[in-house]
């Protein structure tokens, strides 16, 4: 692919158990074909073997211990912002016009299992640099199929905030994709505004970045990519995969099939609280807490983000209604998960009831 407008890829990587270690060599080689400058900011928990292998493969790695001065107090938000900061520095060094943020685990999985789609993502990033030298911001979103495959309704709080961000901005927005492409001036403003004492704190801060970009007058775009923006990296969940499951994985005919089987196995654990369960009451609390933060943030900045000011009152009522219903909905689901049940009862009763609670109007599914 042409490299006339180089793109710097920056990522945050949290891998305390080195579950991605065996994938790094293949992934890093593929990533550097499309992004010669890949900057990874590892968290304080990340295994040293992962850091060492990334460095050995020529990846620019900045570990948590290398950053003595935080940008913000919240550790998760700080990890994301420092990834942006070091990505911006690399872009300035190589005179890159575009920086792409993408979670490290998703980048590794995408480059390993879907290299063609990953290359397409790099081409989209270069396209923003061709269109804008300044004030460019591009939200990358999952296809509807990918979103629904990886987000069963029982875990789907994302439909709500994606719906409202899409409505307010007047275009499809996917805040859960974690992939954003920006010109350097937008990143500079994000870093400046995020450290201001009057700005809201958002531990997974992509919505705040979008709002800051809008308020500074950036050109906001949205584009869609297949396959690469998955809900979870399934290999991070091998503890929940039985020997029988792994037999079917190992018999897969292609990497893409292997990946799909791993995803299906992981999804089968969602919502259960038994030995293979991956959704606890604490996880539900995190999901509803994140949804509340994202919606409150949009509510606070509604006037500066409206694509159609005539719909302001309608959107205010809708967002406020959603915020009011969150506490009740969250309490009901957490109560269900805290009740002792047999595995059969969980599958046939609790999941059905949770799924019914999480169902959103059909119009939201189509538009978010």
pLDDT tens per residue across all 368 residues of the chain = 444 667 999 999 999 989 889 889 999 999 999 999 999 999 999 999 999 999 999 999 999 988 889 999 999 999 999 999 999 999 999 999 999 999 999 899 889 888 999 999 999 999 998 899 999 999 999 888 777 666 554 455 788 899 999 999 999 999 888 899 999 999 999 999 999 999 999 989 999 999 999 999 999 999 999 888 764 555 555 555 666 677 777 788 777 777 777 767 666 655 444 444 455 666 667 777 888 999 999 999 999 999 999 999 999 999 999 998 877 777 776 676 666 655 545 544 544 454 454 444 333 433 33
Query: CB–CB of 175/158 below 8 Å?
Result: yes
Could you tell me which residues are beta bridge partners of residue 223?
Answer: 140
Q: Are residues 209 and 239 in the same domain?
A: no
User: If 0-12 CB within 10 Å is exposed, 13-18 middle and 19+ buried, where does residue 29 land?
Assistant: middle
In a domain, 1, yes or no: no
Task: Report the C-alpha dihedral over residues 166, 171, 175, 179, rounded to 10 degrees.
Answer: 180
Q: Are residues 172 and 28 in the same domain?
A: yes
Q: What are phi and psi of 213, to 5 degrees?
A: -60, -45
Domain final residue, candidates 163, 198, 225:
225
> Could you give the CA distance from residue 2 to residue 151 in angstroms, rounded to a whole number?
35
Domain final residue, candidates 225, 244, 260:
225
- The total domain count for the chain is 2
| Residue of 168, 181, 96, 192 whose CA lies nearest to 137 | 181
In a domain, 219, yes or no: yes
Q: Are residues 216 and 274 in the same domain?
A: no
Domain span including residue 147: 7-225
Quote helix, strand, coil % in the chain, to nearest 5.
60, 10, 30
DSSP state of 221: E
Q: Are residues 148 and 297 in the same domain?
A: no
Q: What are phi and psi of 65, to 5 degrees?
A: -70, -15
Q: Are residues 211 and 241 in the same domain?
A: no
In a domain, 2, yes or no: no
> Could you give the CA distance from residue 338 to residue 341 in angstroms, rounded to a whole number?
9
| Residue of 51, 46, 50, 61 whose CA lies nearest to 16 | 46
Domain final residue, candidates 197, 225, 253:
225
Q: What is the CATH number of the domain that holds 161?
A: 3.90.550.10
Q: Are residues 241 and 221 in the same domain?
A: no
Q: Are residues 221 and 238 in the same domain?
A: no
> Could you give the CA distance from residue 214 to residue 196 in angstroms, rounded to a whole number?
17
What is the three-class DSSP state of 62? strand
Query: CB–CB of 308/170 below 8 Å?
Result: yes
In a domain, 56, yes or no: yes
């Amino acid at each position: 692919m042409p490299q006339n407008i180089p793109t710097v890829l920056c990522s945050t990587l949290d891998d305390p158990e080195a579950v991605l270690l065996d994938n790094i060599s293949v992934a890093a080689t593929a990533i550097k074909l499309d992004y010669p400058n890949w900057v990874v900011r590892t968290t304080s928990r990340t295994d040293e073997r992962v850091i060492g292998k990334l460095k050995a493969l020529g990846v620019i790695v900045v570990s948590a211990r290398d950053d003595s001065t935080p940008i913000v107090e919240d550790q998760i938000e700080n990890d994301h912002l420092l990834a942006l900061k070091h990505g911006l520095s690399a872009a300035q060094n190589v005179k890159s016009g575009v920086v792409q943020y993408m979670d490290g685990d998703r980048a590794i999985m995408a480059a390993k299992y879907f290299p063609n789609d990953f290359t397409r993502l790099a081409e989209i990033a270069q396209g923003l640099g061709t269109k804008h030298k300044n004030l460019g911001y591009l939200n990358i979103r999952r296809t509807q199929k990918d979103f629904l495959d990886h987000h069963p309704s029982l875990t789907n709080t994302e439909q709500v905030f994606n719906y409202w961000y899409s409505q307010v901005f007047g275009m499809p927005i996917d805040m859960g994709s974690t992939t954003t492409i920006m010109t350097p001036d937008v990143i500079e403003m994000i870093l400046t505004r995020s450290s201001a004492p009057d700005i809201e704190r958002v531990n997974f801060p992509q919505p705040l970045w979008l709002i800051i970009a809008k308020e500074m007058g950036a050109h906001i775009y949205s584009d869609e990519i297949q396959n690469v923006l998955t809900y979870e990296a399934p290999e991070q969940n091998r503890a929940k995969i039985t020997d029988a499951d792994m037999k079917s994985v190992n018999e897969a005919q292609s990497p893409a099939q292997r990946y799909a089987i791993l995803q299906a196995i992981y999804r089968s654990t969602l919502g259960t609280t038994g030995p293979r369960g991956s959704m606890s009451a604490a996880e539900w609390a995190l999901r509803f807490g994140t949804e509340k933060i994202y919606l409150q943030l949009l509510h606070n900045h509604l006037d500066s983000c409206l694509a159609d000011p005539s719909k302001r009152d309608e959107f205010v009522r809708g967002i406020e209604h959603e915020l009011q219903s969150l506490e009740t909905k969250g309490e009901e689901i957490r109560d269900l998960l805290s009740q002792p049940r047999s595995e059969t009862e969980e599958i046939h009763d609790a999941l059905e009831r949770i799924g019914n609670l999480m169902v959103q109007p059909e119009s939201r599914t189509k538009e978010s």
